[in-house]
Chains A and B, each alone.
Chain A
């Protein structure tokens, strides 16, 4: 390493510390016995026990996981279609508008997406009677609308880099386009589909603002429970929950990493 690099390395180290220390502290203090989260008084796993008995939180977590799975699955389908359109269909009428619609959800503030979708659902209910009330379906539709845009980004990058020669060979041998797509293209872009699915899953699991707007009575998602609890102040149970989430995410990343390595 040459001597000019040390300021860069120092900033990089500071940056990583900034990104990771808060989460590490959360994990450490989730094993703290004291209710006062910031005073260490001994090792304990009692907050994990309490977490397991928090009915409301577990119900919310289960609802969130269900919504996130449905959302991620449909988001991969819609996002992949959109990526196909952008990479494979060349110029088409309305392409600029298409791209605009696909980019906007990535940066649109959540309060705007949430409010506008709620007003749409209310108007639709008045006009055609559907959706009747709000809950699982409306939250899933709302999440799908922004997470498909993220999936499209991931799949699009993969499709654009992809080597087309295998597809062309199959075409030359007379395979039908749909067969080629299913048996050659899809396996080749599978890693992107997997990361897209995981990304859409996390985005949905994580969303507070949009879900708050479009949910109804009886459909409280995990972030809504966390938010209500956090507004009351720091709570050791939330620290324990954070640790569980970080552990699960780390596990998922490792599994996905291994799965992708084996495909190569």
Chain B
């Protein structure tokens, strides 16, 4: 196979070089600029920040580095609370997605063969309709005179409308709703590869189903759990739309703060500092995800070359 498929240097350069260059220019380089502007000072100018260095007439270079934005982000209780609360919300939502998504993925993976594809398609389908509109749908359901409250009042379960919209609970609901497919897909991919004869062997040896699940299925599906969790956790930490539309004034999230600093306060340097700290927080979960994925890919395709 190797002999009949020589590697062409030109196609190699093209296939690797073009995407590499694009991502380097439009994905990697911008982070350096964010870092640079996070240590600038806001100014009433266009663009609204000061230059880092300036040549003064007689050949003197003045460099101005302003670390106040970072001091503010680290020391101000509001920003600290926003970071902690973002991490907390992302953690809770990841666990909720796992709690709901794992049994769903397991049920699909163990369903009859001809049912699997349609069932999986039903998981993916909502992802194709507008995210913004699906989050919006919950406003009509959760608001005080909304569908859920009307329904519960009609049932007689409650006699006062519940305040759900503009609370943390609404944010949890919105996030789990929007990110559930991202949890289910990697879990499903993992669980369909599971060797179910191991479970049969365990049962033959007298192992109870629950114990077999904890001892065999759960450890073997760990890569799927980690992949799904990272796909939910990382973007949710920086989520903006859901806390903005469903959350209340007490829902502090970094994504929303960054947006406000940028669009309302026009403080680009502070927004940049928030982005840098957020990025730093996400490096660890990201590397974890990457390691895992690389291991899986090497197993499936790297060896074939």
Enumerate chain A interface residues (CB-CB to B < 8 A): 4-5, 7-9, 11-12, 14-16, 18-20, 22-23, 25-26, 29, 37-38, 78-79, 81-82, 84-92, 94, 96, 98-113, 115-117, 119-120, 122-123, 126, 141-142, 144-145, 148, 152, 160, 164, 167-168, 171-172, 177-178, 198-199, 202, 205-206, 208-209, 212-213, 223, 226-227, 230-231, 233-234, 238-239, 241-242, 245-246, 249, 252-253
Which residues from chain A contact B92 at a C-beta distance below 8 Å?
none
B219 at the interface (CB under 8 A from A): no
Whether A81 pairs with B14 at a CB distance below 8 angstroms is: yes
Could you tell me if B136 and A105 are in contact, using CB atoms closer than 8 angstroms?
no
Interface flags, B218-260, vs A, CB<8A=1, else 0: 0000000000001100110111110001000000001100110
Contact of A16 among B1, B29, B122 (CB under 8 A): B122
Please provide the 5 A-B residue pairs with the shortest distance between their CB atoms, ordered closest to farther.
A109-B238, A116-B30, A90-B305, A22-B137, A82-B19
Q: Digitize B6-29: 1 where CB-to-A-CB distance is under 8 Å, 0 elsewhere.
A: 011001101110111011101111
CB of B209, distance to nearest CB on chain A (Å): 7
Give every chain A residue within 8 A of B279 (Cβ-Cβ).
Answer: 112
In the complex the two chains form, is B231's CB within 8 Å of A107's CB?
A: yes
Whether A109 lies near B132 (C-beta < 8 A) is no
In the assembly, what is the distance between CA of A100 and CA of B255, in Å? 23
Is there an interface contact between A11 and B289, defined as CB atoms closer than 8 Å? no
B100 within 8 A of A: yes
Q: Pick out which of these stretches binds chain A: B64-72, B76-84, B145-153, B190-198.
A: B145-153
Q: Say yes or no: B20 contacts A101, CB within 8 Å.
A: yes
Q: How far is the CA of A151 from the CA of B206 in the complex (A)?
A: 47
Q: How far is the CB of A48 from chain B (nearest CB, A)?
A: 15
Is residue B158 contacting chain A, with contact meaning CB distance below 8 A?
no
Chain A residue contacts of B255, Cβ below 8 A: 109-111
Q: Is the CB of B130 within 8 A of A206?
A: yes
Chain B interface residues (CB < 8 Å from chain A): 1, 4-5, 7-8, 11-12, 14-16, 18-20, 22-24, 26-31, 33-34, 37, 47, 100-101, 103-104, 106-108, 110, 119, 121-123, 125-126, 128-134, 136-141, 143, 145-147, 150, 177, 180-181, 209, 230-231, 234-235, 237-241, 245, 254-255, 258-259, 262-263, 268, 271-272, 275, 278-279, 282, 286, 289-290, 293-294, 297, 300-302, 305
Q: What separation, in Å, do the CA atoms of A104 and B150 have in the docked complex?
A: 43
When the two chains form their complex, are residues A99 and B290 in contact, meaning their CB atoms are under 8 A apart?
A: yes
Residues of A within 8 A of B5 (CB): 164, 167-168, 171
* Residues in chain B near residue A116, CB distance under 8 A: 30-31, 33-34, 275
Q: Is the CB of B1 within 8 A of A115?
A: no
- Given A119-B33, A238-B133, the answer on whether A85 and B19 have CB atoms closer than 8 Å is yes
Least CB distance, A9 to chain B, in whole angstroms = 6
Q: Which residue of the partner chain B has the closest CB to A170?
A: B4
CB-based contact B262/A85 at 8 Å: no
User: Are A9 and B107 touching (Cβ within 8 A)?
Assistant: yes
Q: Is the CB of B12 within 8 A of A89?
A: yes
Query: Is A19's CB under 8 angstroms from B100's CB?
Result: no
- Chain A residues near B12 (CB-CB < 8 A): 89, 92
Would A78 and B177 count as touching, CB distance under 8 A? Answer: no
A19 to B19, CA, bound (A): 35
